[in-house]
Amino acid sequence: MKQPSDPFQKARKESPVLPCEFQGEKVPMILRHADLRTACKDWQTYSSDAPFRVPIPSEEELRRMRQLPIETDPPEHTEYRKLVEPFFKRAKDPELIARVETLIESFLDEAKEQESIEVVRDFALPIQSHALTYLLDVSESEAETWIGWGIHVFKDGEDGEQKGNVLEQYLESQFDRAEQDPGDDFFSALTKATYQGRPLTREEMMGFGNLTFAGGRDTVIHSISSILAYLAGNPEAVEYLKESPKHIVTASEEFFRAVTPLTHIGRVCPVSSDVHGFEVKPKGRVSLCWASANNDETVFDSPEEIRLDRKPNPHVAFGFGAHLCLGAAHARLIVRTLLEKICDKNLSIEILEAVEHVETEPEYTRSVGYDSLLVSVS
């Protein structure tokens, strides 16, 4: 089965960049794998020190604080990142792994008992939210609040309502609680943390919290829904995965490459720069297009095909370089566990209804994940 068509294929073969307009700004999208990885390592030319402007579209109207550590450059980025790394490394802790296994197994059992289940909001979103409570070492009951925010914490696709203030109010209350009665959780750790010899400001704490809830939410959800849709259309894949645990590891990486839930991310050029023939003015933006790089035919043989045994697989679905996604291990744990439990239970999946999630921009249209996916599990 082929993955959704690559909207950047023609442009990538013709030019290293695709100028694309976002919010009235012409932004060159870096399309090729080697060029993108080079840019990721060159933070002096392609800077992340750009509050609100690292995401594309930019988020000035959706939040009031710089996201940390993503919207900083080394060495500040390195120091900020170290403050929260211990929580994200918990994804490799045996006790946490066991909890995620139990969680996903229970959701699969529940899905099997029902005639149908809507994957996006009733399966993927709860799994992502409950698993995040384990990572942040907070009460699992918090997941119900997070589920209520929908697929995206700023602007949920179901109703289009802007929700940034809801997240900010929640974070403020958690940091207030942690300062009064600190524990071992994520919020308490930030209230006790020091940066360059001083306590973190409340704005810095909010920046960490904002990214934690906004950064790995819809991406994990799109990955889960896309994988279930693939298995529904390719039941023989489950038989292949059951042959060896190594198959599940390799297949997981191929799913991340093929889905690439985050199309691209922004960087800012501090000074006027020539980006592969496109002039970027001072403070102008550049796009690192993960989706295009992950389909670069000079790196991936037949990239339009999902090959569960693809090796090597130098995909950039989690970014590259210093800003490699903090939640990568957590996302891998969720996906691998999902595949393992589907194999253990020998489950089959059938799609009943599907509405793809489509990004529509002036220069490209890309399908990634689903807005809704109704399936039966047996």
The closest of 341, 207, 372, 291 to 4, measured between CA atoms, is 291
DSSP state of 200: P
The percentage of the chain sitting over the pLDDT mark of 70, rounded to a whole number, equals 96
Please, is 371 exposed, middle or buried when counting C-beta atoms within 10 Å of its C-beta (0-12, 13-18, 19+)? middle
Question: Does position 40 have pLDDT exceeding 50, yes or no?
Answer: yes
Strands 264-269 and 284-289: antiparallel
Strands 25-30 and 284-289: parallel
- Write 181-187 long-range contacts (CB < 8 A, 24+): 184/137, 185/136, 185/137, 185/138, 186/84, 186/87, 186/135, 186/136, 186/137, 186/138, 186/212, 187/136, 187/138
pLDDT category of residue 2 using cuts at 50, 70 and 90: very low
pLDDT category of residue 3 using cuts at 50, 70 and 90: low
Question: Does position 356 have pLDDT exceeding 60, yes or no?
Answer: yes
Give dist(CA 39, CA 44) in Å, integer.
Answer: 10
Tell me, which fold does domain 9-377 have in CATH?
A: Cytochrome p450 (1.10.630)
Q: What is the pLDDT of residues 296-334, one digit of tens each?
A: 999 999 999 999 999 999 999 999 999 999 999 999 999
Please, is 276 exposed, middle or buried when counting C-beta atoms within 10 Å of its C-beta (0-12, 13-18, 19+)? middle
Q: What is the domain partition of the chain in residue ranges?
A: 9-377
In the chain, the amino acid numbered 256 is F
